[in-house]
Structure 1
Amino acid sequence: MAVSRWKAVGSTLLAMFLVGLVALLAVLFIRTYTWPNEVGRWNSNETVIIELTEKERKQLVEALKGAIRIPTVSFSEEEQNTTALREFGEYIQKVFPQVFSSVLIHHEVLGGYSHLFKVQGTDLSLLPYMLLAHIDVVPAPPESWEVPPFSGEERDGYVYGRGTLDDKNSVIGILQALEFLLKRGHKPQRSFYIGLGHDEEVSGHKGALKIVEKLQSQGVQLAFVLDEGLAVLDGVIQGIRQPVALIGTTEKGSITLDLTVNRSPGHSSMPPSETSIGILAAAVSRLEQNAMPNMFGEGPEQDMFERLSTKFDFPLNIIMANLWLFSPILSRILERSPSTNAIVRTTTALTIFKSGIKSNVIPPTATATVNFRLHPAQTVQEVLDIMQNTIKDERVEISVLNSFDPLPVSPNDMSLGYQILQHTIHNVFSRAPVAPGVCVGNTDSRHFVNLTNNIYRFSPVVLKKEDVDRKTN
């Protein structure tokens, strides 16, 4: 009797398990194959007609080449190529005469080299918006380039040079579009601003911040801000075979700090049991070995994968459509690659290590510079607390050089700025679904948080995997 009873219980449990498994599979497949296929697509039938003559297309390319040839390098906040920055201002006045002569446009120079344009619209009741870009670039050692970095050389259909992707393409694209529209007699309904900062690569404090201060003094509020950031990725996201347009709805925060250890100096012939270098190296090693917590799902990254779920190949489409179940698995997978690991957590990067003057002298001081890029769900203080708890060594002094929290996540779908941007992307890149994303780099847009709640980061360029590799190399 007892054996029969246990068999009956076992059969019941097996039946319940099978029923549960079938029910779970049904939920997974129903969610996957009933997920809205057009999420991230504009429903309007309105089409934007873009007609450029062959002459105008050549003008656009030549304008970019000319901009690349001006080495507007920012070496640090204190050191910039001011001669080149001044030359760049003269260059855009020459190349875009309509922009600088139109009665619809007011132009002024701020902070010495940054440019602010106001384009007057016909309906003054509408909140204006802002288009941002920056004219400065980071240094470009010639030995790491296939062609001279400031030559603007065109080869095999590509324009080479520092600034082609960051960010003179945006500068020239914005001004050239405005130039063409003015030539056609176009008058915008909504007023808008164009802000061109000259020190974005080293903080934006002398450029973008001056633009913000000017607008605040005039009581200006903005409907939205569009800056550089994410792009149209074609073949870059594994498992998706079509282009995907990602709009940065937030960007990571940053902390740069020095870790310093001071000990008594000595000679290599009589070394102490611990040295300043050894203590600091151990502290830095603990930081590298103990990553910040995985924050997948706390920012817009989960929304991105869900919106793109129908575009993934099987079985990834099932995983992406059911992150309520599979998010722990996906978050662990994303940790394995540096590029996707940066999406799911605050990253830790040792960038400078300084100590020692001679091979037989034990130095008294060792210093390391560490940079953290903060996930949108964390604050500066939270990261500092975790870091201190990881190091757990009072001999390591911590000095914060600069820091700022991640930017708030801007709304999507119902926001005017996001809708306009999504509409435009679909009219230009018709095959690309649109999804929100995290911008892991920092932009001038972070200075505009008091002027609008709607800040978006997108560059209208298509990047294939080979383009990403080319840019990296």
Structure 2
Amino acid sequence: LSKQYFYREMLLRFLWLIVAVLCLSRGTNKRVARSPSQWSRTRKAIRIPTVSYSPTDINATALHEFSRLLRKAFPTVFSSSLVQHEVVADYSHLFTVQGSQPDLVPYMLLAHIDVVPASESDGWDAPPFSAKEIDNFIYGRGTLDDKECVMGMLQALEYLLLKGYRPQRGFYIGLGHDEEVSGLNGALNIVRLLKQRNVHLSFLLDEGLLVVDGVMKGLDGPAALIGVSEKGSATVKLSVTSAPGHSSMPPRESSIGILAAAVKRLLALKPETNAFSRTTTAVTMFNAGVKVNVLPSVAEAYVNFRIHSAQSLQEVLDLVDSTVGDQRVKVEVVDGFDPLPVSSYSETSYGFQIIKKSILDVFPQLTVAPGICVANTDSRHFKDLVADIYRFIPIWAKAGDAQRIHGINERISKKNYEDIVGFYFTLIQNCDVKELPETHSGVHEF
């Protein structure tokens, strides 16, 4: 009798185990499947024209609408007892996610809500704020810069909280509203708030470099580049003043000719890898003349330099003076700042290695390498809070895709957006270790 009871009990347990596995499998499938509402939320985010035109000209109405969308799209994030949400400087957002182990130094994820202007007349295949889907791509301003990160971060956190997840290492999510015009209100005020609370971060991850595939000569196969530094910037005004006159009696050198010669001396050939390997020079504005038959008395040009980490702002300015080499050309600095310090990317660097592992968890076929972010982000405002700032977006960029950022036909594939959510979902869980993980192994399920 006891043996019969034993075997019957074992059979029942086995059957319950099968049922449990089946239920778990069904539950997992529900989590993996992408619901139509997710795409609806993402497309709604793209349709809101949160355009920043200048530090004093932003679309406040759109920013308020975007705030309402976030609350509606991610109800668990906004209602969880683990998450403290604050509105900063009227339009930016700071989320503080509590960790169960306060001795672990928190980290921060950064993204921005605002976008640059866009017009359908520029030649878009779909209106830039339509979020129209064409061949499994969603078109619209902000799909690459940077609403895909805003929505991806919060979507990942929403999934985790719904699973009953509680992080061991606390973290912050900062969403700035004016990054495209330097972040002087959004990011700076988030920094001030964190400084008041004596917050120090283990690392910070912001937008930046991409997964490049066939973009750079000499790089075989796709690679994920993590920005460990960010170029500095300088805008220099060159001007020449001369006596006006009639075009029928032109002098040997006009103000335009003198200025053009100076600008020519500043320019250089630009191979595809130029921006990653040196300081770049771009003439962005050239103004002269008021009438076709009048020699202009003043000619002006504005030149923008993106300063490599191996150089300083002062070195570039000294180089401009020596290269122009003409006392008739007045050189004035409009604005500028040095490159950001290089963050650690060694084998013992916690932030870099955690990001690297998370990339390989989602994209196991990639090579991961450090790089220099050629654009500027508002993460530079956080340098007093954290030594290691990294810049990476899990966007797969093929030849020509990088030009879509701030250009026409900005778009993201639905598959790539899922990868973005998966990356942040994985990264948050990977940060729950005190010591660095071993080399890549396993994939988080979401």
Instruction: Give the TM interval when normalised to the shorter protein.
Output: 0.7 to 0.9
Structure 2 unaligned blocks of 5 or more: 1-27, 409-446
What residue in structure 1 maps to residue 348 of structure 2?
Answer: 414
Counterparts of 1:222 and 1:397, CA distance in 2: 44
Following superposition, the deviation at residue 467 of structure 1 comes to 3.8
* SS in structure 2 of the partner of residue 75 of structure 1: strand
Residues 81-127 of structure 1: per-residue CA shift (max 9 Å, x gap): 11111111111111111111111111111122111111111111111
Following superposition, the deviation at residue 255 of structure 1 comes to 0.3
What residue in structure 2 maps to residue 16 of structure 1?
Answer: none
- Superposition map of 1:25-424 within 5 A: 53=31, 56-143=34-121, 144-238=123-217, 240=219, 242-288=221-267, 291=268, 337=271, 339-412=272-345, 413-424=347-358
What is the total number of aligned residue pairs between the two structures?
379
Following superposition, the deviation at residue 466 of structure 1 comes to 5.8
User: Would you say 1:431 and 2:365 are equivalent positions?
Assistant: yes
Following superposition, the deviation at residue 237 of structure 1 comes to 3.7
C-alpha contact (below 8 Å) 1:242/1:431 kept by paired residues: no
Following superposition, the deviation at residue 394 of structure 1 comes to 1.7
Residues 169-189 of structure 1: per-residue CA shift (max 9 Å, x gap): 000000111111111111111
* SS in structure 1 of the partner of residue 185 of structure 2: coil
* SS in structure 2 of the partner of residue 136 of structure 1: coil
C-alpha contact (below 8 Å) 2:217/2:273 kept by paired residues: no
- The residue type equivalent to 1:132 in the other structure is L
Q: 1:463 aligns with which of 397, 410, 419?
A: 397
Identify if the C-alpha distance between structure 1 residues 386 and 400 changes in structure 2 by more than 3 Å, giving closer, same or farther.
same
C-alpha contact (below 8 Å) 2:100/2:168 kept by paired residues: yes
Counterparts of 1:51 and 1:443, CA distance in 2: 37
Identity of aligned residues (%): 56
Following superposition, the deviation at residue 59 of structure 1 comes to 3.2
Following superposition, the deviation at residue 55 of structure 1 comes to 5.4
Counterparts of 2:219 and 2:376, CA distance in 1: 27
Residues 440-472 of structure 1: per-residue CA shift (max 9 Å, x gap): 111111111111111111111222236446666
Counterparts of 1:277 and 1:254, CA distance in 2: 26
TM-score with structure 1 length normalisation? 0.77
- The residue type equivalent to 1:423 in the other structure is K
Counterparts of 1:470 and 1:172, CA distance in 2: 19
* SS in structure 1 of the partner of residue 387 of structure 2: coil
Residues 350-392 of structure 1: per-residue CA shift (max 9 Å, x gap): 0000111111112211111100000110000000001100001
Structure 1 unaligned blocks of 5 or more: 1-49, 292-334
C-alpha contact (below 8 Å) 1:251/1:406 kept by paired residues: yes
- The residue type equivalent to 2:352 in the other structure is Y
* SS in structure 2 of the partner of residue 53 of structure 1: helix
Identify if the C-alpha distance between structure 1 residues 102 and 459 changes in structure 2 by more than 3 Å, giving closer, same or farther.
same
